[in-house]
Amino acid sequence: MVAKAEQLYEGKAKILYACDQADKLVAHFKDDATAFNAKKKGTIINKGVFNNKISAVILKMLEDKGVKTHFVEVLSDRECLVKKVDIIPVEVVVRNVVAGSMAKKLGLEEGIVLKRPIVEFFYKSDPLDDPQINEDTAIAMDWATPEECVFLKEAALRVNEILLEFFDSLGIRLVDYKLEFGRSSDGILLADEITPDGCRLWDKATGEKLDKDRFRRDLGNVEEAYQKIFELVSNA
Residues that bind ligand UDP (CB under 6 A): 91, 93, 99-102, 130, 176-178, 198-200, 212
Give the DSSP letter of residue 98: -
* Least gap, CB of 79 to ligand UDP (angstroms): 21
* Least gap, CB of 107 to ligand ADP (angstroms): 29
* For ligand UDP, the closer CB: 46 or 132: 132
SS3 2: coil
Q: Which of residues 196-225 bind ligand ADP (CB under 6 A)?
A: none
* Least gap, CB of 175 to ligand UDP (angstroms): 7
Q: Which of residues 16-55 bind ligand ADP (CB under 6 A)?
A: 16, 25
Question: Nearest residue to ligand ADP, using CB?
Answer: 11
Radius of gyration of the chain from Cα atoms? 17
Sign of CA dihedral 29, 102, 87, 12: negative
* Least gap, CB of 177 to ligand UDP (angstroms): 5
* Least gap, CB of 114 to ligand ADP (angstroms): 26
> What residue ranges in the chain does DSSP mark as E strands?
4-10, 14-19, 24-29, 32-35, 40-43, 71-74, 79-83, 86-87, 90-97, 113-123, 132-133, 172-184, 187-191, 199-203
CB contact at 8 A, 49 and 109: no
- Total length of the chain: 236
Q: Which of residues 147-186 bind ligand ADP (CB under 6 A)?
A: 180, 182
CB contact at 8 A, 170 and 164: no
Among 120, 148, 176, 192, interactor with ligand ADP by CB under 6 A: 192
Binding site for ligand ADP (CB under 6 A): 11-14, 16, 25, 70, 82-85, 87, 180, 182, 191-192
